[in-house]
Amino acid sequence: MTSAQVEKGTENTSEEGYERGLGSRQVQMIAIGGAIGVGLFLNAGANIAKAGPSLILMYAVAGVIIFFIMRALGELLLYRPVSGSFAEYSREFLGPFFGYFTGWTYWLMWVVTGMAELTAAAIYVHYWFPDVPQWLTALVFLVILFGVNLISVKVFGELEFWFSMIKVTALIGMIVIGLGVLTFGFSAAGDTAAVSNLWAFDGFFPKGIGSSLMTLQGVMFAYLAVELVGVTAGESENPEKTLPKAINTLPWRIALFYVGALTVILCVVKWTEFAEGVSPFVKAFAVIGIPAAAGIVNFVVLTAALSSCNSGMYSTGRMLRNLAESGEAPAVFKKLSATKAPAVGVAVSVAFMGIGVVLNYIVPEKAFGYVVSVATAAGIWTWLMILISHVLYRRAVDAGRLPASPFPAPGGAKCSYVAIAFLLFVTGLIAYDADSRVCLYVMAGWAAALGVGWVVLKSRNPQIAERREPESTKAG
């Protein structure tokens, strides 16, 4: 087959059979939306109470590490753009077991995240309609988002675009209003708003550096889903152009939406006024005196939760199909619907998310936090696999065994080593914290279950443990 024939045949369809229906506009917004979630809108309040203004530094440091991770992923994606990329690269560079483990663990991350986000969305709607049962609201959202993911990837991309647009608009609005208060001194907060609020109340590290470092686990949860761009690789219209652009704009997104927004909020409102369970954005709007502040932020956080759940359905279906194609999940997950969507994989994932709706209805409130911590642990594993795969890929390129990617990570493998050390440090912090270490026990049980599953798979099909050459080795 000639290169012209290949180009013609893959113009609208990826090598995996997916429709390349995600345009640059949608991939950009999916990337932006992935970096703005409930972790920022809600969890930041508790972290401010623990770390004070130094939380800004924690977000900045973690943001640098996230950029290292995404540039490592970007180099791999342009070497070989495939949907379900994390599992595929783990499979290629570390071996079949790691591909199997990473694929199922990323699936777990999104399923438990979907459980949490659906329940959160129902709670947010409860704010306006207290008489409507939470389980009913969660079920309605589950069915609607399920339908969106079955229609086509274009509909998914469009919905995600508008979800992200709402979040971005809200954050930019908050920053502009906050800067106005600081500059012109209007509103009820005008008399107390000042840049000196960042250090005037017991310093920049009011609770000590140790307390600040302990917030890193919550900060990393806020960054979960930035790697979703990698899952879109098989359905991007032009991955060679859209993916580098989406990844290279990550630093300014983090600088603006995380570091910038928190800096402005903590200048306008003293850090001592924030507490766990209260969104810092609701608090800031209330202090400034904006009418219906709680309602506005409640709507924005609702879209953030629905956006996350929507992304979860999208990514879990693709990951299950990737596992099925490698013989690591039932073959039925390989089927695509008439609209090129992995309908069976999405349906099964939605069913598990539905179980979460029931569980969150009957279990205590603390279980909700456990679900979040499990998602964080699974996310850290995914990031580690991306980084280790990148290190091994660079070794293969240096040795002349593989072609160089057209989108090399700055600093080569050095930045990946730094990011690996940082993620291991955060894992140590999780183990040190009595409340969050339960997720490590859950992950240990999950690892044991996957280990048993791997033994069963090998006994039925010994070839599954053999390394296979990837079908394509290069983007384009």
pLDDT by residue (tens digit) across 304-338? 888 888 888 888 888 888 888 888 889 899 888 77
**93-139 pLDDT per residue, tens:** 999 999 999 999 989 988 888 887 787 788 778 878 888 887 788 88
Residue 434 scores a pLDDT above 90: no
- Write down the pLDDT at residue 231: 66
**pLDDT band at residue 28 using 50, 70 and 90 as cut-offs:** low
Rounded Cα distance between 473 and 268, Å, is 52
CA angle centred on 225, ends 221 and 227, rounded to 5° = 120
What's the token pair of residue 285?
């709007």
Does an H or E element contain 31, and which? helix 24-34
**pLDDT band at residue 476 using 50, 70 and 90 as cut-offs:** very low
Q: Average pLDDT for residues 54-75, to the nearest whole number?
A: 93
Comparing CA positions, the residue from 158, 152, 157 lying closest to residue 338 is 152
- Write down the pLDDT at residue 42: 67
- Write down the pLDDT at residue 63: 92
Q: Average pLDDT for residues 370-397, to the nearest whole number?
A: 90
- Write down the pLDDT at residue 235: 61
Exposure letters 279-295 (e unless 16+ CB within 10 A, then b): bbbbbbbbbbebeebee
Please name the residues in contact with 18: beta carbons below 8 A apart, sequence gap of 6 or more: 83, 153, 234, 235, 318, 336, 340
Comparing CA positions, the residue from 348, 122, 154 lying closest to residue 236 is 154
DSSP state of 254: I
Q: Average pLDDT for residues 152-168, to the nearest whole number?
A: 80
Residue 194 scores a pLDDT above 70: yes
Does residue 350 contact residue 313 with C-beta atoms inside 8 Å? yes
DSSP state of 19: B
- Write down the pLDDT at residue 369: 65
DSSP string spanning 396-439?
Answer: HHHTTSSPPPSSPPTTTTHHHHHHHHHHHHHHHHHHH-TTTTHH
**pLDDT band at residue 7 using 50, 70 and 90 as cut-offs:** very low
**338-370 pLDDT per residue, tens:** 777 788 999 999 998 887 777 666 654 555 666
Which one has a higher pLDDT value, 6 or 115? 115
- Write down the pLDDT at residue 2: 41
Q: Average pLDDT for residues 411-431, to the nearest whole number?
A: 95
With 0-12 / 13-18 / 19 or more C-beta atoms within 10 angstroms meaning exposed / middle / buried, residue 59 is: buried
DSSP state of 1: -
3-class DSSP state of 208:
coil
